[in-house]
Amino acid sequence: MVKEFGNFVGGVWSTDPQCGFFDDENPACRGSSVARFQASRPDAITAAVDAATRAAGEWRKSDLVRRQDIVDRLLSLMRAKADELALIITRENGKTIREARAEVQSALIEGQYHARQASAFYGHTLPSGTQGMTGWLQYEPLGVVGVISPWNFPVNVVCRKAIPAVLTGNAIVHKPASYTPWSAVFLAELAEQAGFPPGVWNCVTGAGSAVGLALVDDPRVRAITFTGSTEVGRSIHERAARNLARTQLELGGKNATIVLADADLDAAADAIVTAGFACAGQWCTSTSRILAEKDAYGRLMDRLVSRCERMNVGNPLDESTALGPVAGPSQYRNILAAIDLAKNQGARMLTGGALEGQAGAEGYYIRPTLFSQVSPEMALFSDEVFGPVLAATPVRSLDEALELANRSVYGLSSSIFTSNIKSAHRYIREIQAGMAHVNMHSGFKDPSMPFGGWKESGHGLPENDQCGLEFFLQRKAVYIRD
């Protein structure tokens, strides 16, 4: 019997007999169900926002130290349950168990950073110095915040949003992706055990087009923090604008790695494979385009092909697996369609494609895929695939590499491999992206640095860093006559 989970609203777990349940499929086993979740209707969101609104009034008045204590307890519980959490991630998302463990660790590191940073943040007061008067800048919570999360990092992305939101005194309503509701429900269980007052942390499962929209449309929700596709992010932004609600949007990408002829090609190939194929390429900051100088192009392709073909594709629970299945049937279909289109448009597939054999029949497996001779007119050059598919294009110079890297509606992450400091500095100045890496893979991040994209890759204040807290606060200018 597959376990069924309800929603967590106002500190209570409940199921609505009027609503059905949906299956959470293990992508390593087509047609399976690891657990079932409530297919909620919009009225569940109304109830969650009611509860969050009631809770927010008291929560905003609570001491920061108390909020930090509860967040610390949540982090301790996550640490104690890290193996269980990682197993849930792997079972419902398909990423390898090593990647799932790393995701939980990353969520813990970021959560700790935010909990500590919150104390420093409020230290920021500004005496005005004007005669007979003092003034300061006071930060206050927004009230109720909607958290809408994707399936690719079902723990880390949720924590990166929800922890700063509650630390700053807001109550949240979380709507997780329908591919990965279990991680979210498990986190809500830990939040309950950590001792958040009822209504501060709510979680409602169901379709984005029903409950996600209802959350965005509720005028009591003063901010939406969203990670997902550019298309959905744009529609959320338009609808939230009607309520003049804030948005923090972390969206799609088509991240380029530039490789100059003077680069260490082994280091470049290692980094491209890491950033291109971790989490089966379903990583917003993964490398998806390679722009390599002609003198190095052939040697780089050889290195990439041999690394791709050495990667072990298969059961994500096996410690030796390098690449698990993609997250579900629609991902699988879309990625294979993008591969077919690239072939039809004349790109050369050097290695990759769907995994054949028994494992391929059991799960949604796609091998590390490398296309060469991808020209800027091809869909593979411009469209996000969000899978283990790399597109390589030879370039004549750094000029051309930068021009092509920036010829994209996206601007999330990027990287360059070169031994020339002038080339590196020029890339840093001219690349149109929220993240720039020199001789490092494009997916690297640190919580003390902002995490966000330019152009159609993002909107609003980025996550992490100081701004990860600031997004959830509004400013009040205070003036006092002596």
For residues 60 and 63, what is the distance between their CA atoms, to the nearest angstrom? 8
Please tell me what DSSP assigns to residue 27. T
Tell me which of 154, 199, 228, 325 binds ligand NAP, using CB under 6 A.
228
Is residue 24 close enough to count as binding Mg ion by CB under 5 A? yes
Alpha-carbon distance values, 330 to 95, 245, 364 (Å):
16, 31, 10
Nearest to 403 by CA among 370, 430, 371: 430
Q: How far is CA 476 from CA 136, 140, 141, 246, 479, in A?
A: 8, 7, 10, 16, 10
Query: Among 66-74, 90-98, 396-404, 452-460, which window interacts with Mg ion (CB under 5 A)?
Result: 90-98
Could you count the other beta carbons within 10 Å of the beta carbon of residue 458? 26
Closest approach, Cβ 83 to ligand NAP, in A, equals: 24
- Annotated catalytic residue within 92, 99, 192, 250: 250
Only one of the segments 41-49, 87-95, 195-203, 226-234 lies at the binding site for ligand NAP (rule: CB under 6 A); that segment is: 226-234
Segment near ligand NAP (CB under 6 A); pick from 14-22, 147-155, 188-196, 418-426:
147-155
In the complex, residue closest to ligand NAP by CB: 208
Nearest residue by C-beta to Mg ion? Answer: 92
Size of the site for ligand NAP (CB under 6 A): 32
Closest CB 36 distance from Mg ion, rounded Å = 11
Does residue number 149 form part of the binding site for ligand NAP (CB under 6 A)?
yes
| Per annotation, catalytic residue among 192, 284, 293, 456 | 284
Residue pair 445/153 in contact (Cβ under 8 Å)? The answer is no
Binding mask 453-472 for ligand NAP (x = CB under 6 A): x---xx--------------
Instruction: Say if strands 21-24 and 12-14 run parallel, antiparallel, or are unpaired.
Output: unpaired
Least separation in angstroms between residue 387's CB and Mg ion is 16
CB 53 within 8 A of CB 143: yes
Pick from 412, 416, 436, 473 the residue near ligand NAP by CB under 6 A: 412
Applying CB under 6 A, among 193, 209, 344, 419 the residue interacting with ligand NAP is 209
Residue type at 84? Answer: E
Q: How far is the CB of 133 from ligand NAP (least distance, A)?
A: 43
Alpha helices for 396-435 (secondary structure H): 398-406, 421-430
Amino acid found at 64: L
Nearest in space to 290 (alpha carbons), one of 349, 386, 374: 374
Binding to ligand NAP in span 359-398, by CB under 6 A? 384, 386
For 155, list phi and psi in degrees, rounded to 5.
-105, -50
Q: Which of 7, 28, 36, 92 binds Mg ion (CB under 5 A)?
A: 92
- Rounded Cα–Cα distance for residues 283 and 252 (Å): 9
Q: Please work out the total of residues on this chain that contact Mg ion, with binding judged by CB under 5 A.
A: 4
- Among residues 216 and 261, whose Cβ is nearest to ligand NAP? 216
Q: Name the minimum Å distance from CB 306 to ligand NAP.
A: 28
Indicate which of ligand NAP, Mg ion, none lies near residue 150 (CB less than 5 to 8 Å, by partner kind). ligand NAP
Catalytic residue flag (residue 250): yes
Window 242-281: contact mask with ligand NAP (x via CB under 6 A):
--------xxxx----------------------------
**CA-based nearest residue to 272, from 158, 424, 362, 391:** 391
Residue 365's closest CA among 398, 321, 406? 321
Strands (E), 65-186: 133-141, 144-148, 171-175
Interface residue with ligand NAP among 56, 236, 256, 392 (CB under 6 A) is: 236
Min dist. Cβ of residue 385 to ligand NAP (A):
10
Chain-centroid distance of CA 123 in Å reads 29
C-beta separation of 327 from 153 below 8 A: no
Q: Least distance to ligand NAP from the beta carbon of 213, Å?
A: 4
With beta carbons less than 8 A apart as the criterion, state whether 281 and 352 touch.
no
284 catalytic per annotation: yes
Q: What kind and span of H or E run contains 21?
A: strand 21-24
Interface ranges with ligand NAP (CB under 6 A): 148-152, 175-178, 207-209, 212-213, 216, 227-229, 232, 235-236, 250-253, 284, 384, 386, 412, 453, 457-458
> Which sequence positions are flagged as catalytic?
250, 284
Interface ranges with Mg ion (CB under 5 A): 24-25, 92, 179
